[in-house]
Amino acid sequence: MSAYHPRRASILDWPRAVLYYLYVALVTLVLGLWGLPQVLVHPERAHRVASLWLGQMLGAARVILGVRIEYRGTPPAGDCIVASKHQSFLDILALAHACPRRAFVMKREVLRVPIMGWFARKVGCIPIDRARGKEAMKQIIAGVEAARTRPGGLGQLIIYPEGTRTRPGQKLPYKHGAGTIQRATGLPIQPVAVNCGLFWPKRGIPIQGGTAVIEFLPPITVGQRSGAVMELLEARIEAASDRLLAEAGGLPGTTPAPAA
C-alpha cells in the first residue's frame, strides 16, 4: 500500500492553527498551575487533571479546527498494553483520552521537564534510557511490574510498535517490544487502528476538518510466542488502518464511504 501524501497547508489554514496552539498554551499553563498543587497533595487526582486537559485539547480541535473524533470498539478499562498505529499528535490526544488510566514509556529527559514531567510521573509514565539499548527493555518490564503493585495498578500502557509517526498508508517494521512485554508480564495487548494522519499530518499543521477514527480491535491474549503475537498484531492494525483510510477516501483510488 503506497503512502498517502496530504495536501500542503494553505494560507487559510494558518490562522486556525495559530489560534489552536495559543489556546493549547494557555490551557496547559492554567491547568498546570491549578492542577499541580492538587496532584502533589492527592496523587490519585493526576488522571482526572490529565483527562480534563485532554478533553480541552480535543474540544478545541473540534471547535477551532473542525476535527472530530469517533471511537469504535471498546476502550480497555483494566491493565493492558495498548499498541497503536501512530500518524499524528491527534491520535496521541484521542487515544490517551479514551484510556482512563493511561501511561506512556518516555525518555528520562522528558520527565525532567517542569509541569509536564511532574504530571507524567504522577500518572505512571515509565522512564527509560534509550542509550542503554537492550537494557532499556528490561527497564520497561521492571517499570511495568512495579506499576502493577501500586493502588490502581498499571492502567493502559500506550506504545507505538513502529516507533515513530507514519504517513497514512505507510508501514514501517514493527518492533517486538509489545510481544516481549506481554511474554514477560502476561498482560493482554489491545490493538488500535487510526486514520488521524488524514486530518493532522505527521509534520506541519492540521490541514482539514472531518471525523478522525480511533478503532479498538479485539485484544490479543497470552498463549503465543512473541513473534507470532507481533505478526498477528501487525496484520490486525495495518488491515484495519487501511480500511479506515479507504473509508475516508484517503488512499489512492478510493472515495469516502457514503454516510449511513
The CATH number of the domain holding residue 55 is: 3.40.1130
Task: Write the CB contacts of 129 (distance below 8 Å, at least 6 apart in sequence).
Answer: 107, 108, 135, 136, 139
Report the pLDDT value the prediction gives residue 132, as an integer from 0 to 100: 73
- Confirm whether 2 is domain-assigned: no
Report the pLDDT value the prediction gives residue 93, as an integer from 0 to 100: 95
**Domain range for residue 50?**
13-247
Q: What angle (nearest 5°) sits at the alpha carbon of residue 6, between those of residues 17 and 8?
A: 55
- Confirm whether 45 is domain-assigned: yes
Report the pLDDT value the prediction gives residue 258, as an integer from 0 to 100: 56
Report the pLDDT value the prediction gives residue 249, as an integer from 0 to 100: 80
- Confirm whether 169 is domain-assigned: yes
Report the pLDDT value the prediction gives residue 202, as an integer from 0 to 100: 80
Flag residues of the chain having pLDDT under 50.
253
- Confirm whether 55 is domain-assigned: yes
Cell of 114: 517542569
- Confirm whether 223 is domain-assigned: yes
Report the pLDDT value the prediction gives residue 54, as an integer from 0 to 100: 95
Report the pLDDT value the prediction gives residue 197, as an integer from 0 to 100: 92
Q: What is the CA radius of gyration of the chain?
A: 18
- Between CA 86 and CA 92 the distance in angstroms is 8
Q: What angle (nearest 5°) sits at the alpha carbon of residue 218, between those of residues 216 and 220?
A: 115
- Confirm whether 138 is domain-assigned: yes
Q: Is the pTM of this model over 0.95?
A: no
Report the pLDDT value the prediction gives residue 256, as an integer from 0 to 100: 56
Characterize the bridge pairing of strands 210-216 and 189-194: antiparallel
Q: How many domains does the chain fold into?
A: 1
Report the pLDDT value the prediction gives residue 257, as an integer from 0 to 100: 55
Contact predicate 215/240, CB 8 Å: yes
- Confirm whether 189 is domain-assigned: yes
- Confirm whether 7 is domain-assigned: no
- Between CA 81 and CA 159 the distance in angstroms is 7
